[in-house]
Amino acid sequence: MAFDIDMIKSVYSNVKERVDAARELTGKPLTLAEKILYSHLWDGKTEKAFVRGKDYVDFAPDRIACQDATAQMALLQFMQAGKKNVAVPTTVHCDHLIQAKQGAKKDLKRANETSNEVFDFLESVSNKYGIGFWKPGAGIIHQVVLENYAFPGGMMIGTDSHTVNAGGLGMVAIGVGGADAVDVMAGMAWELKFPKLIGVKLTGELNGWTASKDVILKVAGILTVKGGTGAIVEYFGPGAKNLSATGKGTICNMGAEIGATTSTFGYDDSMERFLRATDRADVADAANEIREYLTGDDEVYANPEQYFDEVIEINLSELRPHLNGPFTPDLATPVGELGEKAKKNDWPLKVDWGLIGSCTNSSYEDLSRAASIAQQAIDKKLKPKSDFGINPGSEQIRFTAERDGLLQVFENLGATIFTNACGPCIGQWDRSDRKGEEKNTIVHSFNRNFSKRADGNPNTHAFVGSPEMVAAIAISGRLDFDPMNDTLLNEDGEQVKLDIPVGLELPPKGFAVDENGYLAPTEDGSSVSVKVAEDSERLQLLEPFTPIQDSELKEVKLLIKAFGKCTTDHISMAGPWLRYRGHLDNISNNCLIGAVNAYNKKTNFVKNQLTNEYGGVPDTQREYKAKGIKTIVVGDHNYGEGSSREHAAMEPRFLGVAAVLVKSFARIHETNLKKQGMLGLTFANESDYDLIQEDDTFSFVDIESFAPDKPLTIEVTHADGSKDTIIANHTYNDAQIAWYREGSALNLIKKQNA
């Protein structure tokens, strides 16, 4: 039986009435995304037709999911809200703090020893506030959610950008910062700008080497890393119905890489099969009763150009396998064309590692298709030229895959089976085969491949593909290998060709597991003590942020002008820094150390205007803070793309940065800045970015009249005394300006609850 079945049935009991009302009010048929949005309005009533990309709307999500790295700060914030229990079903999943090194058992044991105080804190705070807790090793948050909590037509938010994975079961599931989650945990509405809609019509059927992953790799190449910003991507058409539920999840998961608010599919037979296979027949039965309300209206899908802001059509029968990369997930190349491109760009052709798993591709179907290629290598006497690493998505998948012999196939090929956790995908990888910054190539089935992402090496060229393609490339050891046309020399000196991969949508014997790793909270947590040691280096109770005064926004100094791509990984690195995710002061020592300084093209090396000397970004900013001087960060396009980590907003705020001025923002990061009481601004004239000089001082001349739809004027004084005036746009509404004036959204919640 499903978790929270009464909540799900309650949601379904309101869907028909609310969707019918929205259809009547808007005077048109509705997409699936619109049905879910209108049926989850905070006040429960549809009183106006919202304008896409303009209207801010209050929503009531059905549930929240948090992973251990982001849950720490989110729950530390929630503890300040003065609530006895979370207001909606919430879970915490321990998947980020487990380093991949020697294999599952040893790695999990080491993680439980090195991160025990964090796990103890998360378990105790979950137990106190009515939160479901998934222990280390239980699985990757998004796969566990798909197997246990996701349901068609629901709305959820999660403190990880790949929360969108639940779209594989027809949800509107959105990655948010921890402060957004805290609002909902505390019983407040969740605010979102009503998204635009991108429709992707899928026709045909996958065949040969092409996998579900190739759909999103193709879409990423079309839309780029910012093409989906502010939009929900809705997949439909006969091709969509031909995909498995976990294949749909893969596509939705990597939609985060195009900046999309989320992605989703309409409820269909494959979702019903997955629900029943994962012991949720009760959800499937309830969904079947309102089936037509859990997908887009027929007229929408028949004439998509009339109802979506943008429409893309992909014929799955003609889609070719892709590898995307390096250094960005939207650089899409069909496999047969990659060799020539690699040689032209001097990308290393030798492949050192093939990594299979992550929240994107760690389902039973994924492992079975990759295992079919691995078994061929054994049968055809091919010795792999690359190392293999496997991360199963959950303990249920691992147990089932072990029972059915899939993991043994990988082990027979010499693969290392890592813990059911994120591992290399988020930089938790102790890679023993390379030292320093050697230039090299890896292939993986993950979602992101930014510089330094997997192993901390800026010269690791990472390429993203399907699990079966990763297996084939790793066996060949060559980036330019095309399994559809090329042969390989086996141990007997024969040229052999790999056959088309085969897989199983669901395990024939059903899923099985001995211990899934779930701990239910106690019914009354009032007597539970939350475990935070006063002298801890990893956990620190929070103090409320002090509001930024208008008078402090005169003579603001430039901290850094970031050059080019600046993701949340650049602003607040993961990897070894994950250990400090619950200690704001300590983790602030990584603030912007990965951002490239536009003036010298170096990282973590900026000019201190007080001393005229160069130093690390955090050290320089701490000097400004000690002197009571506010600073500003200037950035390029899509600033803050990537992970939802709110540390990328909290660290600058904690250290005294008052404003971030960029050409454009990634959605989640812009919201995170607002939630923490900072100014997130964009150049009205993008070319003004070029006016900013290294010794500049900024004065916000009209901050006293900060108001919605009214740009701010900034006077920039250069070292020679000359001045420029810059107009800065913003998207703050009245409520968000109130967050700013109070010092943070959480401060306002506390004030309202006082």
Residue 23 falls in the annotated catalytic set: no
CB 498 within 8 A of CB 376: yes
For the chain, counts of helices (H) and of strands (E):
25, 30
What is the CB neighbour count within 10 angstroms for residue 190?
A: 21
CA atoms within 13 A on the CB side of 752: 14
The residue count for the chain: 754
733-740 long-range contacts, CB within 8 A, separation 24+: 733/56, 733/708, 734/708, 735/56, 735/191, 736/191, 736/674, 737/706, 737/707, 737/708, 739/674, 739/675, 739/677, 740/547, 740/548, 740/674, 740/677, 740/678, 740/679, 740/706
CB 141 within 8 A of CB 39: no
Distance CA 558, CA 276 (A): 57
Q: CA triplet 134, 136, 142: central angle to 5 degrees?
A: 55
Q: Specify the residue for token string 């321990």.
A: 94
The token pair that represents 715 in the structure block = 């006077």
Catalytic position from the list 93, 431, 645, 653: 645
Catalytic position from the list 18, 40, 93, 96: 96
Residue 551 falls in the annotated catalytic set: no
Residue 478 falls in the annotated catalytic set: no
Catalytic position from the list 386, 394, 588, 643: 643
Residue 724 falls in the annotated catalytic set: no
Catalytic position from the list 4, 68, 160, 482: 160
**Alpha helices (runs of H) in 538-616, residue ranges in sequence order:** 568-571, 584-587
The token pair that represents 19 in the structure block = 């969707």
| Most distant pair of Cα atoms in the chain: their distance | 79
Sort strands 495-496 and 657-662 into parallel, antiparallel or unpaired: unpaired
Catalytic position from the list 448, 453, 461, 570: 448
The letter for the amino acid at 734 is: D
Residue 744 falls in the annotated catalytic set: no
Measured CA distances, 57 to 40, 185, 298, 505 (Å) = 10, 18, 26, 38
Annotated catalytic residues are: 95-96, 160, 448, 643, 645
